[in-house]
Amino acid sequence: MKKSPLPMAGLVASLLLILAPLHLSAGALPEFTTLVDKAGPAVVNISTRQSQSASSPAMPPGHGLPDLPEDSPLRDFFRRFFGEQGEDMMPDEDIQSRSLGSGFFISNDGYVMTNAHVVDGADEIIVRTNDRREFVATVIGADKRSDIALIKVDATALPTVKIGSAKDLKVGEWVLAIGSPFGFDHSATAGIVSAKGRSLPTENYVPFIQTDVAINPGNSGGPLFNLEGEVIGVNSQIYSRTGGFMGLSFAIPIDVAMDVADQLKRSGRVTRGWLGVLIQDVTRDLAETFKMPQPVGALVAQIVPDGPAATSGLLPGDVILDFNGTPILESSALPPLVGIHPVGKPAKVTVLRRGQTRVIELMIGELPEDGQEGRKGEPQEQPNKANRIGLVVEDLSDEDREQLGAGKAGVFVAKVEKGPAERAGIRVGDILLMIDNKDVESAARLREMLDAIEPGRSIAALIQRNEGRIFVAVRIPKD
C-alpha cells in the first residue's frame, strides 16, 4: 500500500513541537542589560599610589615584566596594566606603586565599599566613576579579617547600589559582577552561584559565596548582583594557579560586609564574638568513635585558657551540634555564627558528650586581635618499647607541660612505627593528650589504657601539634 505524503501544515506543526523546548530554553536565559544600565553608574574604579623603594621587590618573584623588544606592542600592554614595576631603576630610588581595584557607592553622600587589600598601605586613593569624574578618597576604616574597607569621597547626589541579602541566595542562581579587571573599567561578567558558606584558609569568620563568575585582578572590591539588581556580595578572592581566572571566585556576603561597614563608620573598628575554642571537622572515623550515625558538628579540640569557654563547662572532645538554634553540619559553619553574635551576650550550644547531648549556656567574648602563642618543651630521651598502636612515647615534666599548656596530661611521641597510630596520622613530636575521652598521664598509664580496650574498636586520640590540637581516630588492632 502506498503511503501518502505528510501535509505541509502537519510538517510545520511537527517541527514547531520539536523546536519548542529549545526555544523556551533559550528564552529562559537571563537578560542583564537593564541591570547593568541601572547599577553600573554606582560602580567605581579605585586606583592607589604608594611610595616604596625600588630596591624592594615590586612584584612577586617570577612575576616581573617579560623581556620584550622595545618596539613590541606587548611591552606597552604590560606597562599599562602592570605599571612600571618591571623596569630598570636606580637602587633606593622612590617609585609610585599603583594598584587597581573596584568599589561601589553605598550612600549618595560618598561612602564607598571595597576590599581592605585594595587600599592597604595606600598614600593616595583615587575613585573614578563611569562618567570619568575623579575624587580623592579618605579611609574611614578597614577590617583585614573580612577584607572589607569603607572609604569616602567629598561629593553628594551620587548614584548608589541597591543592597540585598545573601541569606536567601540559592546554589545555581544567576549572578553578575561589575568591576575593572586589569584596568578595563566597568566590565560585566556573569555566572552562577557554585556554593555557599565556604570557609577559606585565610579567614574562618566569613562564609564566602563561591561562584564561577569570571573575576580577575582589578575586580577586587566590586559588587556581585542578583537578577533583581541587588548587591548580594563583594568580590574578594579567586582560586588560581596562574594568577588569572580558573572558574573559582569568592565573594563576601553583603550581610557580613554591611555589618562591618556600619561598625567601621560608627567606631572605626570591628568587634566579633568569640567562644575561645579550637575546633575541627568530625571525620567518618571519628564519628564512629563517638558513636554518631553520621559525621556532623564541630569537634572541640582545645579550650583556650582564660577564654569565654574556659569556665563554661565545654570540654575537649565535645561535638558542638547546634549554636543558638542553628544546626552545625560542619565545623566551618560555627565561626561565622559566633562572629556575628553580640559580644557580652549569652548563647546556647548543644553538644554531644560520651553519646549524650546536653545544652550549655555561655557568655560570648570578643575575638582578640592576636592569636595565642605557645612553646613546645624538649623532653629528654627515654627509649621505650612500642605500645599496642605502634607508638614509643616519653613522659613529660611538669615544666614541659606548663610550657605546652597541656595541664596535667600528655606524653611526647618519640617514635611512630608501622601500625594503627601511623595510619591515623600521628607523627613524631606530637603530644598525645587523651585517648577514649581519658587523659594520658604517663607512658605507663597509656599502655594500661590501650591494653584495656577491646580489639577492633576505633577510639579518638587527642594530640597537640605545634600550637594546635586535633583529634584522630585510631583503630585498636585485633590480637
pLDDT reported for residue 155 = 94
Burial 245-264 (b: 16+ CB within 10 A, else e): beebbbbbbbbbbbbbbebb
**Cβ pair 433, 446 in contact under 8 A:** no
CB atoms under 10 Å from CB of 277, counted, come to 26
What pLDDT digit, counting tens, does each position of 216-226 carry? 889 999 999 99
CB atoms under 10 Å from CB of 93, counted, come to 9
- Cα dist from 53 to 91, 257, 316, 391, 450, whole Å: 8, 34, 49, 53, 61
Per-residue cell: 268 = 572605626
CATH H-level, domain 273-366: superfamily: PDZ domain (2.30.42.10)
Residues written for the chain: 479
What pLDDT digit, counting tens, does each position of 134-183 carry? 999 999 999 999 999 999 999 999 999 999 999 999 999 999 999 999 88
- Measure the CA angle with vertex 32, ends 30 and 38; round to 5°: 145
Choice among 147, 185, 395, 400 that is catalytic:
147
Structural domain spans, the chain: 163-267, 273-366, 391-475
Residue with grid cell 585485633, as numbered in its chain: 478
DSSP reduced 3-state for 76 = helix
Q: Is 186 one of the catalytic residues?
A: no
> How far is it, in rounded angstroms, from Cα 251 to Cα 179?
13
What pLDDT digit, counting tens, does each position of 200-220 carry? 876 778 999 999 999 988 999
Q: What percentage of the chain exceeds 70 in pLDDT?
A: 78
DSSP reduced 3-state for 83 = coil
**β partners of residue 359:** 350
Q: Is the pLDDT of residue 241 over 70?
A: no
State the pLDDT confidence band at 8, using cuts at 50, 70 and 90.
low
Residue with grid cell 549618595, as numbered in its chain: 108
Output the CATH code of domain 391-475. Answer: 2.30.42.10
Q: What is the CA radius of gyration of the chain?
A: 29
Residues 6+ apart with CB under 8 A from 27: none
Q: Read off the DSSP letter of residue 350.
A: E
What pLDDT digit, counting tens, does each position of 317-373 carry? 899 999 999 999 988 899 999 999 999 999 999 999 888 999 999 999 999 875 432
Per-chain mean pLDDT for the chain: 82
**What would the mean pLDDT of 373-397 be, rounded to a whole number?**
62
**What would the mean pLDDT of 11-40 be, rounded to a whole number?**
67
Q: Is 220 one of the catalytic residues?
A: yes
- Measure the CA angle with vertex 190, ends 189 and 193; round to 5°: 135
Residues 6+ apart with CB under 8 A from 18: none
Per-residue cell: 123 = 598614600
**β partners of residue 177:** 189, 224
pLDDT reported for residue 212 = 94
**β partners of residue 96:** 51
Which one-letter amino acid corresponds to residue 156? T
Look at residues 406, 459, 133 and name the one whose alpha carbon lies nearest to residue 290.
459
Same fold, 273-366 and 391-475: yes
Look at residues 321, 305, 309, 475 and name the one whose alpha carbon lies nearest to residue 404.
305
Q: Is the pLDDT of residue 63 over 50?
A: no
Q: Is the pLDDT of residue 95 over 80?
A: no
- Cα dist from 133 to 128, 153, 183, 228, whole Å: 6, 12, 16, 27
CB atoms under 10 Å from CB of 283, counted, come to 14
Q: Read off the DSSP letter of residue 6.
A: P
Strands (E), 115-179: 124-128, 134-143, 148-152, 162-163, 174-179
Choice among 117, 120, 322, 442 that is catalytic:
117
Q: From its phi and psi, is residue 313 left (phi > 0), alpha (psi between -120 and 50) or beta? A: left
pLDDT reported for residue 179 = 94
Which one-letter amino acid corresponds to residue 392? V
What pLDDT digit, counting tens, does each position of 443-465 carry? 888 988 888 888 888 889 998 88
pLDDT reported for residue 445 = 86
Q: Is the pLDDT of residue 20 over 60?
A: no
- Measure the CA angle with vertex 142, ends 272 and 324; round to 5°: 20
Per-residue cell: 76 = 606597552
**Cβ pair 45, 106 in contact under 8 A:** no
Choice among 97, 99, 180, 220 that is catalytic:
220
Q: Is the pLDDT of residue 383 over 50?
A: no
**Which runs of consecutive H residues, i.e. helices, occur in 217-324?**
254-267, 284-289
Q: Read off the DSSP letter of residue 68.
A: -
Q: Is 312 one of the catalytic residues?
A: no
Per-residue cell: 182 = 586589569
CATH H-level, domain 163-267: superfamily: Trypsin-like serine proteases (2.40.10.10)
What pLDDT digit, counting tens, does each position of 274-306 carry? 999 988 889 888 898 888 999 999 999 888 888
